[in-house]
Amino acid sequence: MQRYILSRLIQSVFILFGVLLIVFFMLQLTGDPVSLMISRHATPEDVEALREELGFNRPVAVQFGSFIAGAVTGDFGKSLRHKQPAMDLILSRLPATIELAATALLLSLVLGIPLGLVAGSNPGSFWDLLSRGTGLLGQTIPNFWLALILVLVFSVHLGWFPTFGRDTWTVLGLTLPTRSVLLPAFSLSLFTMGQLVRFTRSAVMEIRSEDYVRTAYSKGIAHRKVYIRHILRNAAIPLISIVGVQFGYLLSGSIYIETIFSWPGLGNLLAESIGNRDFALVQAIAFFSSFVVVFLNLLTDIAYALADPRIRY
Amino acid sequence: MDKILEVTDLITRFHTFDGVVHALSGVSFHLYRGETLGVVGESGSGKSVTMMSLLHLLAAPPARIEGGRALYFGDNGPLDLLGLDTAGISRIRGGRMGFIFQDALSALNPVMTVGRQISETLVEHLGMTTARAWNRSVQLLDYVGIPEPGKRAAAYPHQFSGGMRQRAMIALAIACQPRVIIADEPTTALDVTVQAQIIDLVLRLKSEMNMSVIWITHDLGVVAGIADRVMVMYAGTVVETAPVDDLFYRPAHPYTIKLLGALPKIGQAGNYRLESIDGTPPDLLEKPSHCQFVWRCDHAGDRCWQDIPQNREISPGHQAACFFPFTDKGVR
């Protein structure tokens, strides 16, 4: 196990290096970044001066070297617009995105898994119909459209939730979420929820007819215990990977949802920085999101090995 | 001899999209205390469906038990297994009747230790504490011949060899000292030496624990070696029941005769064709209205196309469902 974790860690380092490579050359591919940053009326001397200042006049290899050296220490340079280190900006936006992503994940787990379970155990029933409907709609409804409708109904007409923004509530120095997170989190959770419903349903349906479930019944184990110990336990294994992948996607921040709700998270920051051609910040966010995904995949693989004794590396 | 189980006219059907499958059309048999009953027949003849019907182990839908009676003679008098509710049948399953399945790899939960799978039964039926049940599981593993049982109890099924897994499966089935063991082709997936060990083990446990055994197989050789009586099934019916010697030396039903004829013979020269029974078993989607073997039978008469033959006595303890059974005096 330790050897497996070590080798996966080394792999992850290589993946992240590849990400850095792409992130760096992404900037080179857009042409001369300086001409995009500077006013159209600037003199050639001004352009040259800025190029000198930002280090774009150095050979590409040297630029890449200093980029990597900075990236390893979390230094992606200063945001051109905010005049602050890019990483600091990301870290300041991170709590909002974590709050949103965690709430969305929690909602999709709490609603999706029980629905999938009930549906999988009673194929053809009302709950099964509901679960298939949820699975289909969750994965096909564009979440930005749904978000607007939700705002219209629940915020504008009913006034139950704020229309935008993040309110927090501080108790004993802890920052706690308020109901302002619910609408964006629900809109964001729908896709993951749909996937969880579908996978849980099909996993339960498949495992229900496994030989070992019949064995459990043949031992005289009560229905409820067979479900919990034999069916759920086995159905949980494929769900681990979905939860891992989806949480990575949620944590990278959703551009649409955060923009619609003016949620001060990473997605919002990314949208803003792309609009401003704030290259250092875009690079930093791209790398940070990849880092989160790689890290969560690593955790997922480890969780897999812990949950399924047949997997041994 | 005392009966422990008496099944009468068991009818099980599967309601599928293609129509009604007549899986069992009136199966009757009984099991004496302390005996081993061999159940033979080809795939789809209803051997497993019969036994699973008794314990309500078939998935419903599509399966439905539509008739019959299955009396279990326990300490508190006869009990109709087919009429029991979920709680009632759960007490029988594992507690009074243990099931040994064919493929122990798929029949054991892959993510639960073998020890836990055994103790689970003990906790359920005997109300043991988890710790006591675990100790008992280790004893049981030792009892069925698994070396280092303490260590093996904490292992998962995939860490066992095929033969060991089947031993663990047996330990699980006998954990609560059931009166009846139903072994559903327990040796089919094993190689011959391991097969012999498993057979010896079950027979040893049977005599030590004073159990009755129903042994489902399509290996006539195994049946000859272990069974006291044999029941032959064909297309969802019992076609012949006889003490083991009668069945092998004086078979009465044409199907049994052909089945025995299809066995390879010792002493025959190397290069010969094995005999086979022409034709295929009938389509169970059609409701039987006459003898189900009639298409493949060499001796069928007009009557065989008109009526369903019932089991009748050929000699004491020997029954066949045939209008023209073979007897010592030739065809009757």
Q: What is the CATH number of the domain that holds B198?
A: 3.40.50.300
Question: In sequence order, what DSSP letters do the residues of B119-146 get, joined into one string?
Answer: HHHHHHHH---HHHHHHHHHHHHHHTT-
d(CA B262, CA B276): 5
The answer to whether the Cα torsion of B145, B146, B151, B157 is positive or negative is negative
Distance from CA of B169 to the nearest CA of A (A): 9
pLDDT, mean of residues A158-175? 74
Residues B142 and B241 reside in one and the same domain: no
Residues A56 and A94 reside in one and the same domain: no
Residues A21 and A139 reside in one and the same domain: no
- The answer to whether residue B2 is domain-embedded is yes
Residues B80 and B106 reside in one and the same domain: no
Helix axes A233-251 and A182-208, enclosed angle (nearest 10): 150
Q: In terms of Cα–Cα distance, which of A299, A303, A288 is closest to A16?
A: A288
Candidates B103, B121, B156; nearest CB to A220: B121
Q: pLDDT of A110-149, one tens digit each?
A: 999 889 988 988 888 888 888 888 888 888 888 888 888 8
Helix axes A279-307 and A86-121, enclosed angle (nearest 10): 40
pLDDT-derived band at A241 (thresholds 50, 70, 90) equals confident
pLDDT, mean of residues B281-304? 84
Q: Which residue has the tokens 């209803």?
A: B46
Distance from CA of B161 to the nearest CA of A (A): 14
Distance from CA of B57 to the nearest CA of A (A): 7
Residues B103 and B210 reside in one and the same domain: yes
Residue A66 CB burial class (10 angstroms; 0-12, 13-18, ≥19): middle
Instruction: Give the total number of structural domains in chain A.
Output: 2
pLDDT, mean of residues B107-115? 92
Q: Which domain, by its residues, includes A113?
A: 86-307
- Residue with the bigger pLDDT between A12 and A61: it is A12
CB B127 within 8 A of CB B145: no
Lowest mean pLDDT among A72-76, B182-186, B283-287: A72-76
pLDDT at A253 over 70: no
Residues B258 and B299 reside in one and the same domain: yes
Partners of residue B172 in chain A, C-beta under 8 Å: 215, 219
| H helix runs in chain B, sequence order | 47-54, 86-92, 104-107, 114-126, 130-143, 149-153, 162-174, 192-209, 220-226, 244-249, 254-261
Residues A68 and A96 reside in one and the same domain: no
pLDDT-derived band at B332 (thresholds 50, 70, 90) equals very low
Q: Which pLDDT does position B52 carry in this prediction?
A: 92
pLDDT-derived band at B194 (thresholds 50, 70, 90) equals confident
pLDDT, mean of residues B19-33? 90
Residues A95 and A218 reside in one and the same domain: yes
The overall average pLDDT reported for chain A is: 83
Name the domain boundary from A72, A106, A130: A72
pLDDT-derived band at B273 (thresholds 50, 70, 90) equals confident
pLDDT, mean of residues B19-46? 90
A305 touches chain B (CB under 8 A): no
Q: Which domain, by its residues, includes B58?
A: 1-35+45-84+228-263+276-332
Residues A109 and A164 reside in one and the same domain: yes
Residues B115 and B198 reside in one and the same domain: yes
- The answer to whether residue B161 is domain-embedded is yes
Partners of residue A234 in chain B, C-beta under 8 Å: 109-111
- The answer to whether residue B196 is domain-embedded is yes
Question: In sequence order, what DSSP letters do the residues of B160-190 get, joined into one string?
Answer: S-HHHHHHHHHHHHHTT--SEEEEESTTTTS
Candidates A212, A229, A308; nearest CB to B108: A212
Residues B198 and B108 reside in one and the same domain: yes
Q: Cβ–Cβ of B101/A222 closer than 8 Å?
A: no
CB B81 within 8 A of CB B4: no
Partners of residue A217 in chain B, C-beta under 8 Å: 57, 93
Q: What is the CATH number of the domain that holds A115?
A: 1.10.3720.10
pLDDT-derived band at B328 (thresholds 50, 70, 90) equals low
Residues B72 and B156 reside in one and the same domain: no
For chain B, count helices (H), then strands (E). Answer: 11, 14
Residues A31 and A162 reside in one and the same domain: no
Residues A118 and A8 reside in one and the same domain: no
Residues B131 and B172 reside in one and the same domain: yes
Q: Which pLDDT does position A306 carry in this prediction?
A: 83
Q: Cβ–Cβ of A220/B91 closer than 8 Å?
A: yes
Q: Which residue has the tokens 């919990």?
A: A228
Instruction: Give the total number of structural domains in chain B.
Output: 2
CB B7 within 8 A of CB B69: yes
Residues A92 and A210 reside in one and the same domain: yes
B106 touches chain A (CB under 8 A): yes
Partners of residue B85 in chain A, C-beta under 8 Å: none
Residues B23 and B106 reside in one and the same domain: no
d(CA B64, CA B56): 9
- The answer to whether residue A80 is domain-embedded is no
Residues B238 and B176 reside in one and the same domain: no
pLDDT-derived band at A31 (thresholds 50, 70, 90) equals low
Q: How far is CA A109 from the centre of its chain?
A: 15
Question: In sequence order, what DSSP letters do the residues of B43-64 get, joined into one string?
Answer: TTSSHHHHHHHHTT-S-TTTEE
Suggest the residue from A121, A214, A218, A230 to mutate for an interface test with chain B (most B CBs closer than 10 A): A218
Q: Cβ–Cβ of B124/A223 closer than 8 Å?
A: no
d(CA B207, CA B34): 8
- The answer to whether residue A274 is domain-embedded is yes
Residues A63 and A103 reside in one and the same domain: no
- The answer to whether residue B269 is domain-embedded is no
Residues A92 and A60 reside in one and the same domain: no
Residues A108 and A41 reside in one and the same domain: no
Candidates B99, B111, B172; nearest CB to A233: B111
d(CA A266, CA A258): 8
Q: pLDDT of B58-96, one tens digit each?
A: 887 788 888 888 999 988 888 898 888 888 888 889 889
Residues B31 and B100 reside in one and the same domain: no
CB B122 within 8 A of CB B136: yes
Helix H, strand E, coil C: the string for chain A is CHHHHHHHHHHHHHHHHHHHHHHHHHHHHCCCHHHHHCCCCCCHHHHHHHHHHHCCCCCHHHHHHHHHHHHHCCCCCECCCCCCEHHHHHHHHHHHHHHHHHHHHHHHHHHHHHHHHHHHHCCCCHHHHHHHHHHHHHHHCCHHHHHHHHHHHHHHHCCCCCCCCCCEEEECCEEEECHHHHHHHHHHHHHHHHHHHHHHHHHHHHHHCCHHHHHHHHCCCCHHHHHHHHHHHHHHHHHHHHHHHHHHHHHCCCHHHHHHCCCCCHHHHHHHHHHCCCHHHHHHHHHHHHHHHHHHHHHHHHHHHHHCCCCCC
Name the domain boundary from A42, A72, A102: A72
A41 touches chain B (CB under 8 A): no
Interface contacts (A, B; CB < 8 Å): 79
Name the domain boundary from A72, A106, A128: A72
Candidates A211, A237, A309; nearest CB to B106: A211
pLDDT, mean of residues B119-148? 90
Whether residue B309 has a cis bond before it, omega within 30° of 0: no
**SS3 label, residue B289:** coil
Lowest mean pLDDT among A32-41, A55-64, B129-138: A32-41
**SS3 label, residue B152:** helix
d(CA B260, CA B223): 12
- The answer to whether residue A312 is domain-embedded is no
Please tell me what DSSP assigns to residue B303: G
- The answer to whether residue A78 is domain-embedded is no
Residue B295 CB burial class (10 angstroms; 0-12, 13-18, ≥19): middle
Q: Cβ–Cβ of B93/A211 closer than 8 Å?
A: no
- The answer to whether residue B14 is domain-embedded is yes
Q: Which pLDDT does position B269 carry in this prediction?
A: 66
Please tell me what DSSP assigns to residue B93: B
Residues B118 and B164 reside in one and the same domain: yes
B90 touches chain A (CB under 8 A): yes
B178 touches chain A (CB under 8 A): no
Residues A133 and A59 reside in one and the same domain: no
CB B32 within 8 A of CB B2: yes
- The answer to whether residue A81 is domain-embedded is no
- The answer to whether residue B40 is domain-embedded is no
User: Do the interacting molecules here have an ipTM over 0.95?
Assistant: no
